[in-house]
Amino acid sequence: MKKFFVLLAALGLTFGLAQDVESLDPSGQTVMFWHQHSSERLAGLEAIIDDFNANNEWGITVEHEYQGGYGDIFQKMLPILGTSSTPNLVVGYQNQAATYAIADGMVDMTPFVDSPTWGLTAEEKADFFPGFYNADIFPSFDNQRFGFPPNRSMEVLYFNAEWINELYNAGAISFAGAPKTPEQFAEAACAATENPFSKAQGSRSLGYQLSTDASRFASWTFAFGGNVYDYDANEYSYDSPEAIEAMTFLQGLFDEGCADFVTERYGDQTDFGAGNLLFTVGSSSGLPFYKSAVDEGADFTWGVAAIPHTTDEPVQNIYGASVSIPTGHSAEANLATWLFIKHYTSVASQDTWARASNYFPVRQSVANEMGDYFAENIAYQTAFNLLPYGTTEPPVPGYDFVRDLIEGEMAAIMDGSDVEATLALANGEANLILDDQLSAMQ
Amino acid sequence: MQEPAQVLSPAPPPRPVRPRRRFKGEWLTGYLMVMPATVLIGLFGLFPIGYAIYMSVHRWRIRKGGFIGLDNYERVLGSWGGAAAFFGGLLLILVAHWLWTTAFRGHSDWRRWARLAGALTLLSAGISIALGWGAMTEAGEARFLSGLIRTTYYGFLSVPTQIILALIIASLLFQRLRGSEFFRMVYFLPYVTPAVAGAAVYGALFSPRDERPINQLLGWFGIPPQDWLFEPDPVLELIINGVLVRWANLTGGEPIEVALSGFWAGPSLALITIIIFGIWTYTGYNAVIFLAGLGNIPKDLYEAAEIDGAGQRQRFMHITVPLLSPVTFYLTVLGFIGTFQAFTHLYVMRVPATRDAVDTASVVIFDTFYKRNDFSLAASQSIVLFVIILILTLFNQRILGGRGQ
């Protein structure tokens, strides 16, 4: 009997999914949204939701719940995948969506996005930054779309512009302004270690603080012209010549005493603000925090720039969580959820959201609305202008586990381990993890 | 006045209760009384264990797959022979203890032979554990087995230290010192401090930066600043190398650098820092429990001992310590279970720079579940840890429990 009901439910679900999207009626649906936003971002999100609830023509109601950080949400989702206990909409990184998809826990949004009735027009699609728009289409899952981007951030170089000027004027470095190549970066970092900033609030003086983070590994590898993932072979490439070159470069900075680890939470931000640190690399979403650190600290002129690169053009690491529709709900509810996503990523909502969250909007035309904001936030505009040079980290299941592995090996390299041997071993292990993950799909 | 004569009529004979019905009634009442607790324990205590066992024998990566029997256990333990030798060796320790202390207790002629047998059994246990562990680490889950070693360091370094410190603190507070209530509260405070908040403060205190408090303190004694939570090298290696550098400075020679590895190299400085945090958290709680135990020791025993000329130290060693054995047993069992399951502060305080130097078994299990998404492997790791905790509790029961009774 139980098996019969399970079969019946499965048939119902299949029927629901197979129903023609165009003929669905989303009227009166309630959409539950799980997210990680708090304080100012939450206020911005609530404004967007309130606007949708008040003005949508189908009487759809969006409810939202803060469910902790990305990790908390991921942990809450795993045990309930495929059941009706899942929310209608959930925030998650691409690799998390891939993990959900292994358990058939994700709805492919392609029919909604492409629907003549409910979807986006060709013009609207073209308005999205291509890199952002395509990041949630998963080649390893038959190009299904398991997410849609409402925002993105980018890894940028934060630099103390005044200190660089001092170094240049004192003849300690050979260039003015932000470093463009790794050689310039190393030159300035080492010079800063020897020549403290005039406004520094402490005796410590350092060129660069590195947080052992897989995204930082990826950013430096991108900047050296490589990638951490070989999309043709569908495997990690942490031991590529570019990755080896990037890590050797950073190891050299550590060996010469020009760089050190970030040893306290946001310690690099604090040291940067106090004028004790010339460079740090971090997410562009941290811009307001850097501003506060500088304003409350040594109060100097600072800026953001592309990660110093060996390539002709910068190659910037762009990341950010998307929103996904978990399975376990009716086709009407999924459509209602999509209609909210469409509203969330509309030009007007993106303008509100970018200002509230300090994330980048995902649509190019939003920039036209944000002139006043750009004028007030020059660093934000500088970073925004780097968006065309963006690339992303791999959207594969188990990436969190690989990240931990790479972070440990990155620390070992900075402590003096042989770069080539360490990365060869790490890459082998990363690919074993990937194989292990992908085997679950078969 | 004479009381009216009572008319004594023979009391009606007690209604015969058929023993069987009475027994049934008691039986039913008894079961009804324990039912709520049984249901709750069954639901929240036993069912998860059963479910974990069920998960561990299936291929289960986010979604349930087919039955795979004991494959996951073989993955974790490496080889059945090695595991049998290792766990058998652990049980042999118990046998050795029984032979040494209990067997042939009433037969003085046999006692010497029993002790000899006990010693030989202990030796066999050591060999069996070493060989078994060697075989396990060769083919087993390296991360989990290394995690078990770190868990062992964590438990065996923190629990005895907590107990000894707590006993000392409790004895001092029991002297009715002025303000002892205040100190009792102060010592208890770390236990009620949220682990995450406490760990964050510790992270700042033990920061590798030169200007942070602990490194400043070391500086006063001429010791160079340490990396603490960022130091993956064994503490023994750091000490030996520190001494060798000093020696080289004194003699003007080249310093030799020693690199230690393996079980006997001991825990990393990062793990020691976390152990210090564990000791700070639980010592106060243990002291409060010891205080309650001290209050239950009859005062006349101390008075009698004093009259017999026993000094303060003798009274402490021969009255306080033995009579606190039940409390010590309780705290030791709870301490070991707690340290073997410890997670939150370890997870909060670990940093990538130490790689896996502080990843105890429970941290590895968490990663296997949530990052590697291998639910069945994580479940089998949990069951192995559960069995080890069970054996450890048996040890405590055998060695300390006997004294406590």
Q: What is the dihedral of CA B294, B295, B296, B302, to 10 degrees?
A: 70
* 8 A C-beta contact, residue B41 and residue A419: no
Total number of residues shown for chain A: 442
CB atoms < 10 A from the CB of B74, how many?
17
CA angle B248, B249, B251 (to 5 degrees): 65
Percent over 90 (pLDDT), chain B: 61
Q: Which two tokens stand for residue A341?
A: 């996503």
Whether the pLDDT of residue B178 is over 90: the answer is no
pLDDT at B9: 54
User: For residue range B192-237, what is the model confidence (pLDDT) as tens digits?
Assistant: 999 888 988 888 899 998 888 999 999 999 888 999 999 999 999 9
Give Cα separations from B48 to B51, B61, B82 (angstroms): 5, 18, 28
Of the two residues A128 and B62, the one the predictor is more confident about is A128
> Does B373 contact A398 at a Cβ distance shorter than 8 Å?
yes
* Contact at CB, B370 and A75, closer than 8 angstroms: yes
Place of tokens 């904001």: A373
Which of A105, A264, A410 minimises the CB distance to B207?
Answer: A264
CB-based contact (8 Å) between A438 and chain B? Answer: no
**Chain A residue with minimum CA distance to B202:** A264
**Which residues 150-209 of A are in CB contact (within 8 Å) with B?**
202, 204
Q: Phi, psi (5° rounding) for residue B110?
A: -85, -15
Q: For the CA atoms of chain B, what is the radius of gyration?
A: 28
CA B381 vs. chain centroid, Å, equals 18
What does each C-alpha distance from A72 to A34, A68, A91, B173 come to in angstroms?
11, 5, 11, 43
The C-alpha of A125 sits at a distance from chain B's nearest C-alpha, in angstroms, of 34
- Mutate which: A96, A217, A264, A406, vs B, most B CBs within 10 A: A264
User: How far is Cα B167 from Cα B328, in angstroms, rounded to an integer?
Assistant: 9
Whether the predicted pLDDT of B368 surpasses 60: yes
Whether residue B230 and residue A82 make contact (CB cut-off 8 A), yes or no, is: no
DSSP states along A107-158: ---HHHHH-TTTS--HHHHHHB-HHHHHTTEEGGGTTEE--B-S-BEEEEEE
> From CA B349, how far away is CA A263, in angstroms rounded?
12
Hey, what are B177's tokens? 């010192």
Q: How high is the pLDDT of residue B18?
A: 58
CA distance B319 to chain A (A): 48
* Residue pair A282/A151 in contact by the 8 Å Cβ criterion: no
Q: What is the pTM of this model?
A: 0.84
Of B63, B211, B354, which is closest to A103 when you measure between CB atoms? B63
CA angle A196-A199-A203, nearest 5°?
45
- Out of B230, B356, B367, the one facing A261 most closely (by C-beta) is B230
DSSP secondary-structure letter at A69? Answer: S
Report the pLDDT value the prediction gives residue B17, as an integer from 0 to 100: 55
Contact: B371, A408; criterion CB under 8 Å: no
Q: Which amino acid does the sequence have at B396?
A: N
Answer yes or no: are the C-beta atoms of B320 and B297 closer than 8 Å.
Answer: yes
Q: Which residue in B211, B352, B371 is closest to A212 by CB distance?
A: B352
Tokens at residue A394, please?
Answer: 């791999």
Q: Which of residues 390-419 of A touch B (CB under 8 A)?
A: 397-398, 400-401, 404, 407-412, 415
On chain A, the residues whose CB falls within 8 A of the CB of B354 are 408, 411
Calpha distance A93→A393 (Å, rounded): 10
User: Dihedral (C-alpha) B167, B168, B174, B175: value to the nearest 10 degrees?
Assistant: 160
- Closest Cβ opposite residue B373 in set A397, A409, A415: A397
Contact B63 A81 (CB under 8 A): yes
**Contact map slice: A 224-283 vs B, CB within 8 A:** 261, 263-265, 267
Give me the tens of pLDDT residue by residue for chain A, a chain 442 residues long: 444 444 444 444 444 444 589 999 999 999 999 999 998 999 999 999 999 999 999 999 999 999 999 999 999 999 899 899 999 999 999 999 999 998 899 999 999 999 999 999 999 999 999 889 999 998 888 899 999 999 999 999 999 999 999 999 999 999 999 999 999 999 999 999 999 999 999 888 999 999 999 999 999 999 999 999 998 998 999 999 999 999 999 999 999 999 999 988 889 999 999 999 999 999 999 999 999 999 999 999 999 999 999 999 999 999 999 999 999 999 999 999 999 999 999 999 999 999 999 999 999 999 999 999 999 999 999 999 999 899 999 988 889 999 999 999 999 999 999 999 999 999 999 999 999 888 876 6
Q: Count how many pairs of residues, chain A against chain B, have C-beta atoms within 8 Å.
A: 75
pLDDT at B363 over 60: yes
Handedness of CA B391, B396, B398, B399 (dihedral sign): positive
CB contact under 8 A, B355 and A397: no
Å between A403 CA and nearest CA of chain B: 10
Please state, in angstroms and rounded to a whole number, the distance separating the CA atoms of residues B347 and B203. Answer: 12
Superfamily of domain A154-318+395-439: Periplasmic binding protein-like II (3.40.190.10)
Buried b / exposed e over A96-121, threshold 16 CB at 10 Å, is bbbbbbbbebbbbbebbbebeebbbe
Q: Which residue has the tokens 């404004």?
A: A47
What is the structure's pLDDT at A83? 92
Q: How many CA atoms lie within 13 Å of A403's alpha carbon, on the beta-carbon side?
A: 20
- B373: closest CA of chain A, how far (Å): 7
Helix runs in B42-107, H state only: 47-56, 71-77, 80-101
Residue type, A340: F
Predicted pLDDT at B19: 58
A408: nearest CA partner in chain B: B355
CB contact under 8 A, B62 and A213: no
Taking CA atoms, B231 is separated from A206, A300, A361, A370, in Å, by 21, 34, 41, 47
Residue extent(s) of CATH 3.40.190.10 domains in chain A: 23-152+320-364, 154-318+395-439
β-strand pairing of A277-283 with A206-210: parallel
Cβ separation A400–B371 shorter than 8 A: yes
- Architecture, CATH, for domain A23-152+320-364: 3-Layer(aba) Sandwich (3.40)
**Residues contacting residue A404 through CB under 8 Å, at least 6 positions apart:** A214, B352, B367, B371
